[in-house]
Amino acid sequence: MSQPATKVLVIGYVWPEPRSSAASGHVMQILETFLQQGWNVTFASPAGVGEHPADLAELGIRTVPIELNNSSFDVFVSELAPDIVLFDQFMIEEQFGWRVEKHCPNALRVLETSDLQSLRHARHQRLKDRLKASDDANDFNELFAPALREEFELMADTDLAKREIAALYRCDLNLMISPVEIELLVQQFKLPPELLHWCPLMVDPPSLPSKSFEERAHFLSIGNFRHAPNWDAVLWIKSAVWPLIREQLPKAQLHIYGAYTPPKAAALHNAAQGFHIMNWAEDALQVMSDARICLAPLRFGAGIKGKLIDAMLCGTPSVTTPIGAEGMRTDQPWPGAICRTAQDLANAAVELYRDEVRWQAAQSQGQALLNDVYPQAIHGPALINKLQECRKNIVQLRRQNFTGSMLRHHSHKSTQYMAQWIEAKNQNK
């Protein structure tokens, strides 16, 4: 007699928009991994539907809108009785973790982080401090140099880090996209390694050869404008990097694509300077394949960068910073260049744009890095195996994670009472 299919509930911070953000793309990769296993998947979210949602129903995924601070979720999750609950971002675990534990105590609770938000926010604050202290728009080397201990000290006193680390402890397993963040959590925050599983972006090798050097033109930058590191990168390109490129390539064009383009971004459009704000790209891989160089001068951020994976998939060399390449490097050369100043970024971008031999070498290096680090055929089965192992040993895992049990006892009680108070208040309006 066959075993019933594993039931998975994914609670999303937003409805996935894989054509708008790498975080949503990663969620979709995880969902597809579950479907390939024959698991029954339900996706629920309290968010409104965005402009470019994935068609989950077409994939065979049940979709359910849910409400914050409402006991209707308790009825829903009790009736569903999932075997695994995946929280998309730690704020969702804060909202729904205590309800899942109360009504489905045997369900494996998993947190999908996308990136370590407290690290990203701490780095953003460091950039703000640097911008206040100096008007030098060229050299941001000190932003890219900190050791893990310095990152820890930057984060440790923040409320966001305390909330996020507590959520990691409360879950049975946490999916981490960056090995650097795993190292930071284990070495500095002293999280048990068994609570963390490396699950990077998962890709299949491209089925068609990439466009050649001669078939391409222009520079490209791409990223959701709602994501603060992307907007900051656009500002740095505009103020410092692009003028230096245009000095060497007076007719060069930069095409900047991004979902949810705000008026402040549209206002930067200047055709005379070759600076084109192109809004949302319906097919990000198509515009990436048409470009000769991908610019990603990120001054802060966390996780790993979907745009740079897309660049490798399309055979497009990329010029980025140590923040952009963080967590993505092996011993192999970077497929393009990693630079720390605006001048070096511009020089590297121009050299790659002009030098076909160097450009072709970078394209090959990107394919090698993809094959070495990101194959879905490796990471998909590894994720399934890890989840099955955790389900099998769930009692022992929870007993060993006393800190998590303690945090659930105290945090969930306060969260529960607050949620119940809000619900009662809403009902009395």
Per-residue pLDDT reduced to its tens digit, 73-104 = 999 999 999 999 999 999 999 999 999 999 99
Confidence check: pLDDT of 267 > 90: yes
Confidence check: pLDDT of 413 > 70: no
Which of 343, 358, 373 terminates a domain? The answer is: 373
Q: Are residues 160 and 190 in the same domain?
A: yes
Tens of pLDDT, residue by residue over 110-148, are 999 989 999 999 999 999 999 999 989 899 988 897 899
As a whole number, mean pLDDT of residues 240-255 equals 97
Q: For the whole model, what pTM was predicted? A: 0.93
Q: Are residues 348 and 387 in the same domain?
A: no
Environment class of 48 (CB within 10 Å of its CB; exposed 0-12, middle 13-18, buried 19+): exposed
Q: Are residues 191 and 259 in the same domain?
A: no
Q: Are residues 197 and 59 in the same domain?
A: yes
Does some domain include residue 2? no
* pLDDT value for 416: 64
Which of 327, 352, 373 terminates a domain? The answer is: 373
Does some domain include residue 139? no
Confidence check: pLDDT of 1 > 60: no
HSE at residue 56, side-chain half, CA atoms within 13 A, is 28
Q: Are residues 191 and 104 in the same domain?
A: yes
Q: Provide the pLDDT confidence category of residue 56 given band limits of 50, 70 and 90.
A: very high
Single-letter amino acid code for the residue at 81: A
Q: Are residues 299 and 283 in the same domain?
A: yes
Q: Are strands 108-112 and 293-296 parallel, antiparallel or unpaired?
A: unpaired
* pLDDT value for 132: 94
User: CATH code at 24?
Assistant: 3.40.50.2000
Does some domain include residue 128? no
* pLDDT value for 71: 92
Of 155-164, 191-200, 250-259, 419-428, which range is least confident? Answer: 419-428
Does some domain include residue 55? yes
Q: Are residues 308 and 418 in the same domain?
A: no
Q: Are residues 43 and 185 in the same domain?
A: yes
Q: Provide the pLDDT confidence category of residue 418 given band limits of 50, 70 and 90.
A: low
Which of 373, 388, 414 terminates a domain? The answer is: 373
Distances in whole angstroms, Cα of residue 115 to Cα of each of 178, 184, 334, 371, 383: 7, 12, 21, 22, 17
Tens of pLDDT, residue by residue over 155-187, are 999 999 999 999 999 999 999 999 999 999 999
* pLDDT value for 207: 74
Confidence check: pLDDT of 288 > 90: yes
β-partners of residue 196 are 174
Q: Which domain holds residue 97?
A: 7-118+148-202+376-427
Confidence check: pLDDT of 203 > 70: yes
Does some domain include residue 137? no
Does some domain include residue 129? no
Q: Are residues 160 and 38 in the same domain?
A: yes
* pLDDT value for 280: 87
Number of separate domains in the chain = 2
Chain centroid, CA 41 distance in Å = 21
Q: Are residues 238 and 180 in the same domain?
A: no
Does some domain include residue 22? yes
Confidence check: pLDDT of 2 > 70: no
Of 84-93, 166-175, 292-301, 367-376, which range is least confident? Answer: 367-376
Distances in whole angstroms, Cα of residue 412 to Cα of each of 124, 196, 336, 368, 419: 30, 21, 47, 46, 10
| Residue 190 backbone zone (phi > 0: left; psi -120 to 50: alpha; other: beta) | left
Token pair for 343? 């001048």
User: Considering the chain, what percentage of its residues have pLDDT values greater than 70?
Assistant: 95
User: 78 φ, ψ to 5°?
Assistant: -65, -40
* pLDDT value for 21: 84
pLDDT, the chain, mean = 93
Q: Provide the pLDDT confidence category of residue 408 given band limits of 50, 70 and 90.
A: confident
Q: Which residues contact 358 (CB under 8 A, 6 or more apart)?
A: 351, 352
Most confident of 200-209, 257-266, 380-389: 380-389
* pLDDT value for 414: 61
Q: Are residues 386 and 326 in the same domain?
A: no
* CA dist., res. 72 & res. 387, Å (int): 28
Does some domain include residue 332? yes
> Which of 278, 353, 327, 282 is closest to 115 using CA atoms?
327
Confidence check: pLDDT of 348 > 80: yes
As a whole number, mean pLDDT of residues 364-368 equals 94
